[in-house]
Amino acid sequence: MSRRRRWFGKGDRRVLALTLPIILSNATVPLLGAVDTAVVGHLDSPHYIGAVAIGALIFSYVFWGFGFLRMATTGLAAQAHGRRDANGVRAVFARAALIAVGAGLLVMVLQWPIIELAMSLIAPSPAVEASARDYFHIRIWASPATLMQYCMLGWLLAMRDTRAVFIFQVVLNSLNMILDILFVQGFGWDVSGVAGATVIADYSGVVLGWFLMQPHLKRLGGTWRGIGVFDRAQIARLMKINGDIFVRTMALTSAFALFTSFSARFGEVTLAANAVLQNFLVFGSFALDGFAHAAETLVGQAYGAERRKQFLWAVRKTTVWAIVSAVVMAIVFGLAGPWIIDGLTTIPEVREASYRYLIWAVILPVTGVLGFQFDGVFLGAMQTKHWRNMMLLSVVLYAGLAWGAVMCDSNHLLWAALNVFFLLRGVTLALLFPTIIPQKRMAGA
């Protein structure tokens, strides 16, 4: 019994209670991506898969440029919550929400230059480009709602309400999947149906998110009046943090953009196969993000409450469980990979190509686990400068390796470069981790 308590005690249960609902809710995101791929993967041409992959890439690139709306909201709201500053918690959300609405409207206004630049850089085949444009011009109308959801999810994570996060993600993505199948398989709208389903689901998500926030707003107390939304010092701090997160996120998204762009140079079949295998990557990343989100919340609250010992405990416990989960995930991918591929596409040549490169998707959780985990740690502590710089270094090295893969005309080398990139993210942040540990003994240590 003593050994059981030592290896799995109250701390482990606390971490898993916080993490598992996040993992389960995050799992619906790649499941949605898999459904997107599957509904068009059962149509009569591989170009539909490539079109959805490219369209989704463009929005990932644009929207995750505003990923600070989720990340900064979680870190700053968690720290305010740790200080028991009710108005501060409200102010964090209000500032993020104003930015989300303004940025979403701006993206809609700039839709023409965005799509033209994207098509010129990716240079897909004519059939893929035509369908990708159809997808883009419909989904663009969800921009304000998509960015508002980032704020809501970040805020709910800061409140440690994993139940609400679970409900939010499951309901939103389930609605999206149902509409996917109805519009594509039922109405025959191909990629336009996939995009339309996302628009409807995203606006529905905003309504649901606001409803889920209400119990916390009542419990926290405070008021929306006089919360200092336009406080100069807070805005200056927010802009600095957001700038670091923006640069880091654009660098990360650029890495994935390079992967898809270089995949297109190997032809439609390889592009489609890589898009199928990226579902493994997305599933792995969202699962590991569960532990990263837990670290972000626990570390943020420890910093806000000035508890050094609690900070170190949060890092240790969440990291151990993240590594265990990564190994388990790699084993599952290795065993079930061919069946997953068969479920995503019925096109014989795409299946064969996917089997050929499957091993690289299998090992991604293991090569990437430290990168995801230290993302959460550095974000929770709001130590964004190092976080930004190490991402830039990793992307530069990855770009060189990926270009070498293209020169060698090897998709295997392209996947190897992606794995090296994931490994570099974790190693560089791990080396810098000691520099962000509070050196003086903080209260509660």
Which pLDDT score is estimated for 442? 43
Give the DSSP H or E segment for 157: helix 143-158
> How far apart, in whole angstroms, are the C-alpha atoms of residue 240 and residue 27?
32
> How far apart, in whole angstroms, are the C-alpha atoms of residue 88 and residue 348?
56
Task: Provide the residue type at 55 as one letter.
Answer: G
Task: Provide the residue type at 173 as one letter.
Answer: N
- Distance set, CA 390 to CA 62, 180, 253, 347, 383 (Å): 21, 38, 15, 40, 12
> How far apart, in whole angstroms, are the C-alpha atoms of residue 23 and residue 27?
6
Judging by beta carbons within 10 Å of its beta carbon (0-12, 13-18, 19+), is residue 32 exposed, middle or buried?
Answer: buried
| Cβ atoms of 199 and 141 closer than 8 Å | yes
Task: Provide the residue type at 410 as one letter.
Answer: S
- Distance set, CA 422 to CA 18, 393, 394 (Å): 25, 12, 8
Q: Which distant-in-sequence residues (6+ apart) come within 8 Å of 412 by Cβ?
A: 357, 360, 405
- Distance set, CA 317 to CA 69, 126, 368 (Å): 26, 50, 18
Q: At what angle do helices 232-264 and 411-432 cross, to 10 degrees?
A: 160
Which pLDDT score is estimated for 439? 57
> How far apart, in whole angstroms, are the C-alpha atoms of residue 80 and residue 200?
33
Domain ranges of the chain: 8-436
Phi-psi group of 382: left, alpha or beta (phi > 0 → left; psi -120 to 50 → alpha; rest → beta):
left
Token duo for residue 69? 């709306």
Which is nearest to 357 in space by CA: 259, 426, 252, 261?
Answer: 259
Token duo for residue 71? 């990340």
The whole-model pTM stands at: 0.68
Which pLDDT score is estimated for 1? 43
Give the DSSP H or E segment for 392: helix 384-407
Which pLDDT score is estimated for 85? 80
> How far apart, in whole angstroms, are the C-alpha atoms of residue 432 and residue 110?
38
Q: What is the pLDDT along the chain (445 residues), one digit of tens a residue?
A: 444 445 566 667 777 777 777 776 666 655 566 676 677 766 666 777 777 777 777 887 788 778 778 877 887 888 788 778 888 888 889 888 988 999 999 999 998 999 898 888 877 778 888 888 888 899 899 999 999 998 998 899 888 887 898 889 889 888 988 898 898 888 888 888 888 998 999 999 999 999 999 999 888 887 777 777 777 777 777 778 878 888 887 888 788 888 988 988 888 888 888 988 988 887 777 778 878 878 877 877 777 666 778 888 888 888 888 899 899 999 999 999 999 898 888 888 989 999 999 999 999 999 999 998 998 888 877 788 888 899 999 999 999 999 999 999 899 999 999 999 999 999 999 998 888 776 554 444 4
Which pLDDT score is estimated for 56? 79
What share of residues in the chain are helix, strand, coil (percent, to 5)? 85, 0, 15
Which pLDDT score is estimated for 301? 73
| Cβ atoms of 99 and 283 closer than 8 Å | no
